[in-house]
Amino acid sequence: AQKITQTQPGMFVQEKEAVTLDCTYDTSDPSYGLFWYKQPSSGEMIFLIYQGSYDQQNATEGRYSLNFQKARKSANLVISASQLGDSAMYFCAMREAGYGGATNKLIFGTGTLLAVQP
Amino acid sequence: DVKVTQSSRYLVKRTGEKVFLECVQDMDHENMFWYRQDPGLGLRLIYFSYDVKMKEKGDIPEGYSVSREKKERFSLILESASTNQTSMYLCASSHGATNSNQPQHFGDGTRLSIL
């Protein structure tokens, strides 16, 4: 069965430092996609970054980058130069494989709460 | 920008009531989703719809039903609300193409309390 695991319930990071949020996944489908979302205390889910299983390069979006290690089935989110506004819950998600191909459904991890300290 | 609008940010209802949560998206997305979010459990899919009048059960459909009469609107219905349905409810929408890099876009969520 497909599964997403985020082993860090919570983390602290100093402002301006880089931080890595862990995500491992389990799937037997060769075609899949991985997403990271940010959820501030206000509740909305904000899409951050996407990595496809066949992408040759690690995805980057501004201060966000994805450390994609396919053989290890990990897709860690790296936030460079942390800011106070980065304090939020972060979710890793995988596009679910279905019979005959991928679906549009996502499987979510349990999230990591990041607190950026001044 | 994609806009997904949920009708209420906060809602308080009584046990046994029939509760309607409404979601509207303005980007002509084919797919719409309802999730509930509970601490330590992440987001769990209740129902989703890939077309008007079409629906499929997610991982936790018991006690819920949905309605999609128009493409832009997806309603979640709690037939007879119970206290264990107190939760944060999130609606999302996305394009219909599979194997795509298109993310799901979320509304702001509804914090529902059943007393």
Q: Does residue A68 belong to the interface with chain B, where contact is any CB pair within 8 Å?
A: no
Indicate the SS3 state at residue B11: strand
CA distance A96 to chain B (A): 10
Q: With an 8 Å Cβ cutoff, is A42 touching chain B? A: yes
Q: For residue A69, how far is the Cα from the chain centroid?
A: 13
Q: Is B38 on the interface with A (CB under 8 A)?
A: no
pLDDT at position B83 is 97
Give the percent of chain A with pLDDT over 90.
Answer: 75
With beta carbons less than 8 A apart as the criterion, state whether B7 and B19 touch. Answer: no
Does the pLDDT at position A29 exceed 90?
A: no
Q: How far is CA A13 from CA A45, A88, B40, B72, in A?
A: 21, 12, 21, 40
Question: Using CA atoms, how far apart are residues B8 and B22, in angstroms rounded to an integer?
Answer: 8
Q: What digits encode the pLDDT tens for the residues B20-63? A: 999 999 999 999 999 999 988 899 999 999 889 999 999 999 99
Q: Do A110 and B41 touch (CB under 8 A)?
A: yes
Residue B94 forms contact with A (CB below 8 Å): yes
In chain A, residues with a C-beta closer than 8 Å to the C-beta of B105 are 47
Backbone torsions φ then ψ of A84, nearest 5 degrees: -55, -35
For the segment B62-98, what is each residue's pLDDT rounded down to a tens digit? 999 999 999 999 999 999 999 999 999 999 999 876 6
Residues of B in contact with A106 (CB under 8 A): 43, 45, 104
Say yes or no: B103 contacts chain A, CB-CB below 8 A: yes
* Residue A105: per-residue pLDDT: 86
Which of A31, A101, A108 lies nearest to residue B42, judging by beta carbons? A108
Residue B10 CA to its chain's centroid (Å): 14
Q: Chain A residues with CB inside 8 Å of B107's CB?
A: 44
DSSP string, A36-105: EEEE-TT---EEEEEEETT-SS--EETTEEEEEETTTTEEEEEE-S--GGG-EEEEEEEEEEETTEEEEE
Q: Is A31 on the interface with B (CB under 8 A)?
A: yes
Radius of gyration, alpha carbons of chain B: 13
8 Å CB contact of B50 and A104:
yes
Count CA atoms within 13 Å of residue A71 on its CB side.
0
3 state SS of B83: helix
Half-sphere exposure of A94 (CA within 13 A, CB side): 26
CB pairs under 8 A between A and B: 62
Distance from CA of B60 to the nearest CA of A (A): 13
Distance spanning both ends of chain B, measured CA to CA: 37
